């Protein structure tokens, strides 16, 4: 692969990210079509059920007579089956595009090398593995959901400089959040929520903070709200039971909810792995876990997490609810409006998912 190939593939990555939060169980895919040294077409997969990136890129070409002399770049192997849309490998053959460069092979059973095989049998020069690790990381949610049979798990919490997530609460204390980070970081968190399929918190967080768990500071689709209420302790006045946002309540009680809120019955033996299996069955590709400390610690202890984002503010509490300890050094660190963001990755080599 040449530097030129790498540059065009990175443009595919940029385009693919535009679909983050909208493609549901589909992967993030961008496509660039190049004639000589000029990009003549671009496209990406906008939303679940919509045209694929290759289709949008080919449609954008204003000089279709150039396609038989062009190279198509795509960060994921073109599909080879009839699903919600016709196979992209067939369209590429029909347009007589002679060369295709791919970052990552698609492990989806209906594709899984078949797209490349069909193209090569038609005489198309296909090159694979262009920036493969970057391509795998881009689609880490899709790959985890498909191959690990669970959602991609992002842990997130804010802590004080001395390592506390909250003050100790006593019965009768006001319900609400003790803010640690500032408004800029709170907006960032809403952006993160818009990128994931679901957001999960424990019952304790519902009872003490009464969060809305939406993206009112951002644009996009609200994630599915998820909580565990084994003993039916959440009051009807809680925001999570408003019925105006898709919500799942894992409960051991016979319960009826209104609107978009539904329950999934569980037994006392249910643990983190069981909850993730249920969320996978609900076709939720990723979940952001925002608390509380006990739930976050359970995900860490069972090693059922993929990424963690820890926001450390300037204030101190001296005592209170201790934040979980991370078992490794952060992958990256940055300062955001006076708050330190540390990002951790549980699996440094995302290609291991493919093995």
Catalytic residue set: 54
**Other Cβ atoms closer than 10 A to 173:** 10
164: Cβ–Cβ under 8 A, 6 or more apart, which residues?
316, 317, 318, 319, 320, 321, 322, 323
For every residue of 230-280, DSSP letters joined together read TT--S-TTSGGGSSSS-EEEEESS-----TTEEEEE--TT--HHHHHHHHH
Q: Are 211 and 298 in contact (CB under 8 A)?
A: no
Residue 155, classed as helix, strand or coil, is strand
Instruction: Tell me the backbone φ, ψ of residue 106, rounded to 5 degrees.
Output: -90, 115
Listed residue (206, 210, 219) closest to 22, CA to CA: 219
Measured distance CA(308)–CA(239) in Å, rounded: 26
């Amino acid at each position: 692969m040449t530097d030129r190939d790498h540059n065009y593939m990175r443009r595919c990555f940029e385009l693919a990210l535009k679909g983050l939060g909208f493609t549901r169980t589909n992967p993030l895919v961008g496509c660039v079509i190049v004639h000589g040294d000029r990009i003549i077409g671009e496209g990406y997969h906008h939303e679940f059920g919509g045209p694929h990136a290759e289709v949008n890129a080919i449609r954008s070409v204003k000089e279709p007579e150039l396609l038989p002399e062009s190279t198509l770049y795509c960060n994921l192997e073109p599909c080879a089956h009839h699903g919600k849309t016709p196979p992209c490998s067939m369209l590429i053959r029909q347009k007589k595009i002679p060369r295709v460069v791919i970052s990552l092979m698609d492990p989806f059973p209906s594709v899984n090398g078949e797209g490349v095989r069909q193209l090569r049998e038609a005489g198309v020069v296909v090159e694979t593995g262009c920036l493969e690790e970057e391509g795998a990381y881009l689609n880490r949610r899709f790959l985890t959901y498909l191959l690990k049979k669970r959602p991609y798990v992002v842990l997130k919490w804010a802590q004080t400089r001395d390592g506390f997530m909250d003050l100790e609460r006593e019965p009768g204390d006001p319900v609400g959040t003790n803010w640690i980070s500032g408004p800029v970081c709170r907006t960032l968190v809403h952006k993160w929520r818009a990128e994931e399929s679901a957001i999960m918190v424990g019952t304790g967080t519902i009872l003490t903070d009464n969060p809305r768990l939406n993206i009112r500071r951002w644009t996009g689709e609200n994630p599915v709200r998820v909580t565990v209420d084994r003993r039916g302790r959440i009051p009807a006045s809680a925001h999570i039971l408003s019925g105006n946002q898709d919500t799942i309540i894992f409960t051991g009680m016979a319960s009826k909810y209104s609107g978009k809120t539904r329950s999934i019955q569980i037994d006392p033996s249910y643990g983190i792995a069981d909850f993730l299996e249920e969320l996978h069955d609900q076709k939720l590709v990723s979940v952001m876990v925002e608390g509380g400390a006990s739930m976050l610690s359970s995900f860490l202890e069972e090693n059922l997490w993929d990424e963690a984002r820890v926001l450390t503010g300037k204030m101190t509490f001296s005592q209170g609810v201790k934040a979980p300890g991370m078992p490794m050094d952060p992958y990256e660190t940055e300062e955001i409006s006076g708050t330190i963001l540390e990002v951790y990755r549980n699996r440094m080599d995302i290609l291991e998912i493919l093995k």
